[in-house]
Structure 1
Amino acid sequence: MRNRRYFHNHRHHHDFRQFHRYFRWVRPGVFLFNLLILYALFSWIGNRAIWFFLAAFIVVKEVIHLIFLRRFEQRLFAPVQELDQGVKEIAKGNYDVTIDCDIPNEVGALIVSFNEMARKLREGEKLQQEYEENRKTLIANISHDLKTPITAIQGHVEALMEGVPDSPERQEKYLKTIQRNTVYINKLIDDLFLFSQLDLGKLALHVQSLSIRPFMADLMEEFKFEVEERQCRFTFKDSLTDAHQVSIDGKRINQAVRNIIDNAVKYGPETGLAITAELYSEGDFVCLSIEDNGPGIPAEKIPLIFDRFYRIDRARTKDLGSTGLGLAIAKELIEAHGGRINVSSRENEGARFTLSLPVERSSHEAHSDH
C-alpha cells in the first residue's frame, strides 16, 4: 500500500513537471512553428490582404495565449513549485520555511495554510525542546537535591545505630537533623508533583468564596510561629478598611505565600532576618506584600527569578539547596487565581514581593456596570 501511494505521488509529481515544461518551453516553440507556417502561406497565397489578416489573427492569438500562460505560470506553477519545495523541507525536519505569496486564489489560500502549519510545527518543536530542557534540568536538580538530605539521613541513622552519640543531647540533635531532612524531602516531592500538574495544565483549583481578613490572619499567625522558631522576626499588619471577599483555593494560596517566605528565609542573613507582611487593598485587588531585610536581588536577575529552575545564587543558600521551582510555582498559582505577583528589590537592601488577588464583585456592583 505504501509503495502504491509513493508511486502515485511520484507519478503525479512527474505529470506536473511535464505540464510545467510544456507551458514553459513547448508553447514558445509552437509560436515559432506558427510563424514558419505563416511564412509558407505568404509564399503560397497570392492575395496579400488575406495573408495579413491570417498573420494578424494568429499573432494576436498567440500573444494573448502567451500572456495568459505567463500569468498562469506566475499564479499557479511557480507557487506550487515553491510549495513543493517547502513540503520537502518540512519532510526533512526544517520548519523554518515561509513562502511569500499574495495571490488571491485557492493556491494563495493553500500557501497561507502551509505557512500556518509550518509556524505551528516550529512552535511545537520549540515547545518540545523546552520540555526536553526542563526534563533534563529537573532530573539534574532532583539528583542533586535528593542526594544531599538522603546522605545526611543515612549518615545520622548509621551513627545512631552504632551508638556514636554518647549523650541524650547529641542524640536529640541527630534526630532533629534527620527530621529536618525528611521535611525537606517531603516538600521537594510536593513541589515536583505540583510542578508536573502545572506543567501539564491539570491542576484543579478547589475555589471557595471567603473573607480575606480572617483567612490571612490565621495564615500569618501560622507563619509567624514557624519563622520565629528559626530565630527570625515576623510582623503582620492588616491595613484593610473593608471586609473583602475573594474566590480562592486556600491550600494553593497558602503554598504560594509559603514559597515566598521560605525563599526569604533561605537567602536571608544567618542572624537578624526580619520579615514584614502587610494586607491592603488597591483598586479591584486585595494585596499582600512580603518584605525582608535580606541581601536583595541584583537588578539584572529580577526578570529571571520567576523562571523555572532558576537559582539566584547556590552558594548563598543556607542548609539545603532548592529546586529552583518555589517562586515559579508561586507565580503560576497566583496567576491561576486571576491575580499577579510583582517584586521590587535593591541589592543589599532586601526585597518586597506583592501578591494581588481580585476582589469578588457584589451583585449590586456587577448590575450597576450594565
Structure 2
Amino acid sequence: MAENFRKSYRFAYLSSLYITIVLTLALSVFLFIQSQLDFLFLLAFAVGCYAVCFIVVQYRVERFIYRRVRRIYDDIEMLEVDKVSDGPVTTDMRTLIKEVEKFAQQRKTEIETLKIREAYRKEFMGNVSHELKTPLFTVQGYILTLLDGAMNERKILEKYLNRASKGVERLIYIVNDLDMITKLETGDLNLNYVNFDIVELVQSVFDLYEMKASKKNIALAFDMNYQDPIMVHADKERIQQVLSNLVVNSIKYGKEDGTTEVSIEDLIRNKVIVRVTDNGEGIAQAHIPRLFERFYRVDKSGSRKEGGSGLGLAIVKHIIEAHHERIYVESDYRVGSEFSFTLEKVKKFPVIDVGAKTA
C-alpha cells in the first residue's frame, strides 16, 4: 500500500516538500531577523504549508495532466487490449510509459504476424488459382473445340471427351484434397480409432502401388522380415492415406532402379515409429521448413509434370497431428529422404492362466 502511494503521488509530495522547505526557510530568516523565532510556530507552519501545497499541487496535476493521461489509457483500451490498470491514473509516469511500451510491442508483433499471413495468403491464392486454372483451361479447350464442329467426327469426339474427363477428375481430386485439409485444420474431420496391424497395412499399400513402382523399377520393401503383427491404435483409413502419400512421393521423386524401404521400430513403451526411406533425389535443407505447406513444391516444373495436387504432405502432417502424434523428415540432397511418424501401440495385457493353482 505504501509503495503504491509513493508511486501514485511521488510528483505531488516531492513538489510539496520542496515548496515547504523553501517557504519555511524564508519564514525562519524573517522571524530570526525580527527576533521572534518560535520553534513550535515554525513547525506548525511547516506542517500546514506542506498539507496545503500537497492538495494544491495534486489538484493541479489531476486537472491539467490527468485528463491527457486518461485519454491515452482510453485510446489503448479502445483498441481491445488488456486492461492497462484497474486503479485510477495519477501522476505515475513510469508506469504509464511501461504500459504504452508494452502496448506498442504487442501491436508491432501483431503487425509482423499479419504481414507474414498476408504474404502466405497471396502465395496460397496464387497456387490455388494455378492448380485449378490448368485443368479448367484444358477442359474448356476440348469442349470449345468440340462445339466448333469437331464433335461431328466420332473418333475426335471420343478422344476429346476422354481428355476432358481426365481434366475434370483432376479438378475433383484437388477440390477433395482442399476439402479434407480444411476439415483437418478446423477439426471437423472425425477419426475412427481402431486396433490394426501396421505391418499388414504397409503391405497393402505396397501391393496397391507395385505397378506404379515397377515403371521406374523401384523396389518396395520392408527393412526386415516382420514375423509377428505390430498392433497400433489409430484411424486405419487415414493412416493408409498417410502411407500412400509417402510411398507415392518416394516413387515420384525416386531414381530409376531405386528402393523405397519401410521400417517399424519401437520408440518408447507405448509408441512405434514408422519410417519411409528412399534413395531418390533428396531435398535441400532450405526447403525442409516449408515442406508441409499447402501447394509448396521443391521443384515446381518437375512436380507439375508428375501430377498431384500439391497438398499431399500437408494432409499427411494434419492427419498425424490430428492423432496427437509427430512427423519428422530427414533428407540429404541427391542422397535420399526419410519421412517418419509415430503411432500409439495397442497396450498388451498380461495373460492370466485361470487354471493355475496358487501354492
TM-score > 0.5 by shorter chain: yes
Shift of 1:147: 0.7
- Cα separation, 2, equivalents of 1:265 and 1:82: 66
Identify the match of residue 288 of structure 1 among 257, 274, 277: 274
How far did 1:145 drift?
0.7
Q: Distance in 2 between matches of 1:165 and 1:242?
A: 61
Give the length in aligned residue pairs: 322
Identical-residue share of aligned pairs (%): 24
Partner of 2:340: 354
Q: Deviations over 1:291-332 (max 9, x none)?
A: 334322123322331234422121222436665432222122
Q: Hey, what does 1:306 align to over in structure 2?
A: 292
Are 1:39 and 2:29 matched, yes or no? yes
RMSD: 4.8
Q: Deviations over 1:230-282 (max 9, x none)?
A: 6563513264454222221123222322333343444456xx36452324223
Judging by fraction of residues, say which structure has more helix: 1
Contact 1:309 1:323 in 2 (8 A): yes
**Structure 2 counterpart of 1:282, which letter?**
D
Aligned residue in 2 for 1:316:
302
Match of 1:205 in 2: 191
Kept after mapping to 1: 8 A contact 2:20/2:46: no
Q: State the TM-score, normalized to the length of structure 1.
A: 0.66
Q: Residue 317 of structure 1 aligns to a residue in which SS?
A: helix
1:139 CA displacement: 1.9
AA at the equivalent of 1:33 = L
Partner of 1:246: 232
- Partner SS, residue 283 of structure 1: strand
Does structure 1 residue 278 correspond to structure 2 residue 268?
A: no
Q: Give the equivalent residue in structure 2 for 1:29.
A: 19
Q: In the superposition, relative to structure 1, how do residues 224 and 120 fare at CA in structure 2: closer, same or farther (>3 Å)?
A: farther
Distance in 2 separating the partners of 1:325 and 1:87: 46
Q: Distance in 2 between the 1:164 and 1:36 partners?
A: 113
Q: Residues of 1 paired with 2:154 and 2:177: CA distance?
A: 36
Distance, in Å, in 1 between the alignment partners of 2:79 and 2:26 is 48
Structure 1 residue aligned with 2:316: 330
**Unpaired segments ≥5 residues, structure 2:** 1-8, 54-64, 86-92, 352-359
Q: Deviations over 1:64-118 (max 9, x none)?
A: 999xxxxxxxxxxx9xx9997577567689x9xx99xxxxxxx999999998887
Residues 58, 203 of structure 1: CA spacing in aligned structure 2 closer, same or farther, 3 A cutoff?
Answer: farther
From the superposition, tell whether residues 29 and 138 of structure 1 become closer, same or farther in structure 2 (CA, over 3 Å).
Answer: same
| Residue 236, structure 1, aligned to residue 221, structure 2 | yes
- Aligned partner of 2:244 in structure 1 is 258
Cα distance, 1:182 vs structure 2: 2.7
